[in-house]
Amino acid sequence: MIDFRYHIVSIVAIFFALGAGVVLGAGPLKGTASEVVASQAEKDRQQLADARAELVQVKALDKYRDDYVAKVTAGMTSGKLANKKVAIVTMPNADNDLTNSLQDEVEKAGAVVTTKVALDAKLFDTGQRQLVETLVNQLLTADMDIPTDSTTYQRAGLLLARGIAAKEDGKTGDADSTKMISGLTGAKLLSLKPSQIKDRATLVLVVAAKPPTPLPDNSTYNDSVDFIEGLDTGSGGAVVAGTPATASDGGLLKALRSDSEATKIVSSVDVADIPAGQATVVFSLVEQAEGKAGQYGAINAKNGVAPSAVQTKDN
């Protein structure tokens, strides 16, 4: 972006100087017109060179910061999720590289990823709402604690949570969880890897997708937020990880953080695309296991850069 801007500045300056040269050429300074143009062009070239050098320096500093966090402070997350089982749920169109990086991070922290669930866009398609509602009502079981004022998508989230997760450690897949997962996958609302649930997780990591273009209204995510609330309620806790764009207008994290009820129970991290943010995701999962929630990152994150338990206390 900086290179392009200075190219434009240079071009405009050169044309301005040429214009000045034409005027000067017709007047008393006719002999110096070419010198004025050459001088201005040299200044523009130097300005562009300085801008490029600054950009190189900024990129080098960014790389140093990320490398430092990844290599020097990596030990801070080691063992933090030992003996914990985590299910990863990706929102429609979530970035695979981001998902894989987050999986690597939680596994380095000692967690076992029990399953990866890819939600299909069909799940949140308004034209499929009747299908979702009918299917959810068919699959709910008597042992599930369903709030009387819950929405269709909160119940859908509870349903998926019952299939892949549990509030307590040591729960395995059973006939009910198999039935629920089969119903959801059979309707092509989601897919799982592996397709059979052996161990149910206690923690759920949700990976947000980059906002589409044009940017949607934040209310577009109401069903998604309800679904994530259901995932949290039916498990030992949920964290939503995204990039800064997801915490801005038109993004899932922006909508989540605008819901006061959701933020009481669900955590979010808006810098999950950098090493420091990935460490914060681990710390947030640990906090969720303790029954706490927070909103962390760089964009309107009301609880700061990371959970208070890992921040240096002020003297």
Choice between 102 and 55, residue whose per-residue pLDDT is larger: 102
| Upper half-sphere CA count for residue 131 (Cβ side, 13 Å) | 13
Percent of the chain at pLDDT above 90? 70
Task: Give Cα 139 distance to the centre of its chain.
Answer: 30
Examine residue 147 and say whether the peptide bond preceding it is cis (omega within 30 degrees of 0).
Answer: no
Cα separation, 247 vs 269, whole angstroms: 9
Mean pLDDT calculated for residue range 209-237: 96
Segment 260-278, tens digit of pLDDT: 999 999 999 999 999 999 9
pLDDT at 27 > cutoff 70: no
**pLDDT, position 68:** 65
Mean pLDDT calculated for residue range 34-46: 83
- DSSP letters, the chain, are -HHHHHHHHHHHHHHHHHHHHHHHHTSTTGGGHHHHHHHHHHHHHHHHHHHHHHHHHHHHHHHHHHHHHHHHSGGGGTTTTTT-EEEEEEPTT--HHHHHHHHHHHHHTT-EEEEEEEE-GGGG-GGGHHHHHHHHHHH--TTS---TT--HHHHHHHHHHHHHB-SSTT-B--HHHHHHHHHHHHTTSEEEESSS-SB-BSEEEEEPPPPPSSPPPGGGGHHHHHHHHHHHHTSS-EEEE--GGGGSTTSHHHHHHT-TTGGGT-EEES-TTSHHHHHHHHHHHHHHHTT---EESSSS-TT-SS-GGGSPPP-
Segment 96-126, tens digit of pLDDT: 999 999 999 999 999 999 999 999 999 999 9
**pLDDT, position 172:** 96
Choice between 244 and 28, residue whose per-residue pLDDT is larger: 244
Segment 62-90, tens digit of pLDDT: 777 676 666 666 678 999 999 999 999 99
The answer to whether the predicted template modeling score (pTM) of the entire model surpasses 0.95 is no
Supply the mean pLDDT for the chain.
88
**pLDDT, position 198:** 95
Cα separation, 15 vs 29, whole angstroms: 18
